[in-house]
Amino acid sequence: MFIIICTACVAALSPKVYALPGDMGFFGGISEGRRLPKTMETLVSGDARAESNPNQTRTFVYKEIVFLTGRPVEFTGVLEVSGANGVIPDTPNGNYAQMLHVYPSVASGTDVSINRNIVFTVNYRREGRQLIKDYTVRDWTETITVGGVGFSLDRARSGFDVSIIEHETPGVGYYRGDISARSVYTSGGTGEESDTLTLDASDSFYGYACAWSGAEVHRMESALLSNNWQMLYQIRPGVSTNKILWYTENEPDAISFDGNYKEVLKTRSGLRYTILQAPLIFPDQPVEGGAYIPTRNTFEQLIAADVGFLKGNPAFEDIRQLFSMQILDGDPSFFKPEQAITRAQFVDALVKAVKMPVETAVVNAPRGRRARALPIVFPDVQPDRPDYPYLMAAYRNGVAVGRDDGAFYADALLERQEAFVILIRALGIGGLGQSRTINTIFTDDSQIARWARPGLNEAYRLGLIKPAPDGGIRPGEYVSKAEAAAMIRGLVDYMRIGIASSYAEQIVNYVG
C-alpha cells in the first residue's frame, strides 16, 4: 500500500493569519472590508480562511474624516494595501514590507483630497500559534487638500508605530493592536497665512475573522494643535461581516424540490466621531457625526437537502442546515438521528463546520507519483480510514486529543461532556475557563470529570450549553446524532453572530 499527500492541500496547511490588519488603513478611516469566501470557494480551495496570495494588492473603497481645518470634512477615495502578510510559514522570526496607499477616487469631488503613501517594515516573531508584529516606517509621504488649502507632511518631525499580536486558533483568528502616531503638517500659505499643525493620535483596536464572520473595531483618541487653535476628538471606526442562512420555499408546484437555503453575506462599515474640544473660532459646528460605506449583500445558493422524512423531529432544522452546508454529507436517507454518534463522526463534522484546512491522503499512489509516509498519531487512526484527514486536521489544531493510553478511540461513542469540550477547543478559548472556578453551575456537577469542567463553564457562558429543566447537563450520557447536529449548528451560529456580539458595542452602525 502506498500513500501520498495532495501537495496543493499541504500548502494550505501552513500556518495562516485569518485576518490581515491594515485593511482599514491605520488612520481612523474605514473601508468596506474583505468579502468572506463563499461555500463553493471553500470546497474548491480547501481553505476558507486565507487568500490564495495574501501578498497581492487589495483595493478598497475608503472614507476618512479630515479635521485639519478645524472642521470635520469627509473624504472618499481608494485604499490600496499590499504586502499585508509576508510572514513566512514555520519561521520563528523575520520581516517584510507593507504599503498603504490612499488616493482620491474619480467620484470623490474636490472639497478634500488625500494622497498618502506609507511603507512599513514589519518585524515579526512567532511563539507557538501567536505572532507578534512591530511596524516601523520606512517611507512616508502625504499631502492633504481641503477647500483649496494644502497641507504637506513634515516627515522629519512625524512618526508612526504599530504593534500587533495575532493568535491563530482552530476555528477563529483573533488579533489586537496599538497605534501611536504623530503627524506634523505645514499649510500651503505664506506669512500670517501659513500654519503648522501637529496631530497626535493613539489607537487601540481589536479584530477577529473566521469562515462565518469577522470584525475589526478601533478606539482612536486625537489631539490637533494649530498655531492659533486646538482640538480634541475621538474616532470610533469599525467593520463587521457575517454570513446568515435564509430558507426559501419554491413557489411553483412543478419543481423537484420544496426549497433550499441561501447564504447571505452582510457587511457593515462605519465610523463615528465626537469632538471633545472644538476650536473657539468654530463655536457653531456639530460635536459629533459619522460616515458609512454602503455595501450590497451577496447571495449563494446551497444544495437542497432531501430530509423531508425527518419532519417532526426536534432537530429537523439543525439537520437540514448541516446537510445544506455540507457539514453532514452522504445520502440523508441513511441518517439516523436517534443513533449515538462516535467521536470520529463528531470531529469530522466539526472540522467541516469551522472550515479547517484538510490534507487529503491518497491510498495506492498512481504510477509516477512519489509516496510519502503519513504520520500515525493514534494507533486506532490509520491512514486508510476515510476520516483520517479530518481527524489529523483536528489533531494538528489541538481539537482531537487521545485518552491516557494514547489511542483516540475514534469509534467509541461520544459523551456529552466530551462534545462540549471539543467545541470550546475549536473556538480557541478553552484556556479562559482555567481561570474560572473549577465548579460548574449544573446540578449534576459531581458527575462531571475534572478535566471537562473549565470547558463546560465556557460553553455555558457562551450559550452553547442549555441545561435540562432540572439544571443538569448529563455529562456522561452518549450524544445522539440529532443532539450532535444541534450542538454543531449552535457552534456555527455562534461563529456567525455570537462572536461579533462581543465587539458589538464598538462596531459602528451609522446610517446617516
Mean pLDDT of the chain: 85
Predicted pLDDT at 64: 96
What is the arithmetic mean of pLDDT over 297-321?
91
Q: What is the 3-state secondary structure (H, E, C) of 385-420?
A: CCCHHHHHHHHHCCCCCCCCCCCCCCCCECEHHHHH
Looking at per-residue pLDDT, the higher value among 379 and 362 belongs to 379
Q: What is the pLDDT, as a whole number, of residue 5?
A: 40
In angstroms, the CA 101 to CA 119 distance is 9
**87 pLDDT tier (thresholds 50, 70, 90):** confident
3-state helix, strand, coil in the chain (%, to 5): 20, 35, 45
Residue 237, beta-bridge partner list: 271
> pLDDT band at 23, cuts 50/70/90?
confident
**Summary count for the chain: helices (H), strands (E):** 9, 17
- pLDDT 10s digits, 193-209: 678 999 999 999 999 98
pLDDT of residue 294: 86
**In this model, does residue 362 exceed pLDDT 80?**
no
The predicted structure's pLDDT at residue 509 = 44
Give the SS3 label for residue 35: coil
What are the residue ranges of helices labelled H in 251-360?
A: 316-324, 343-354
Note the pLDDT of residue 348.
Answer: 96
Q: What is the pLDDT of residue 53?
A: 53
Nearest alpha-carbon partner for 57 in 93, 94, 99, 28: 99
* Predicted confidence (pLDDT) per residue in 49-66, tens digit: 444 455 578 889 999 999
Task: Give me the phi and psi of 167, to 5 degrees please.
Answer: -135, 115
The answer for residues whose C-beta is within 8 angstroms of residue 501's C-beta and 6 or more apart is none
Task: List the beta strands (DSSP E) in 84-158.
Answer: 93-104, 112-127, 130-146, 149-153
Please give the pLDDT value at position 275: 95
Enter the C-alpha cell of residue 83. Answer: 504586502
For residue 369, name the pLDDT band (cuts at 50, 70, 90).
low
More confident residue, 130 or 49: 130
Query: Residue 511 above 50 pLDDT?
Result: no
pLDDT at 508 over 50: no
The residue-averaged pLDDT of 234-263 equals 86
Asked whether the predicted pLDDT for residue 250 surpasses 90, the reply is no
**Buried (b) or exposed (e) across 162-174, using 16+ Cβ within 10 A?**
bebebbbbbbbbb
State the DSSP string of 310-339: GTT-TTHHHHHHHHHTTSS-S-GGG--TTS
Strand bridging mode 112-127 / 149-153: unpaired
| pLDDT tens-digit series, residues 409-460 | 999 999 999 999 999 999 887 654 444 457 888 999 899 999 999 899 989 9
**pLDDT average, residue stretch 504-508:** 50
Per-residue pLDDT, 284:
79
Comparing 16 with 288, the larger pLDDT belongs to 288
Q: How many Å from the N-terminal Cα to the C-terminal Cα in the chain?
A: 65
pLDDT at 51: 47
pTM exceeds 0.95 for this model? no
Q: Of 99-108, 121-130, 246-255, 268-277, which range is least confident? A: 246-255
pLDDT at 296: 75
Contact status, residue 268 vs residue 239, Cβ threshold 8 Å: yes
**Sequence-ordered list of residues with C-beta below 8 angstroms from that of 222, at least 6 positions apart, any chain:** 28, 67, 199, 200, 201, 232, 233, 234, 235
As a dihedral over the C-alpha atoms of residue 330, residue 335, residue 340, residue 346, rounded to 10 degrees, the angle is 30
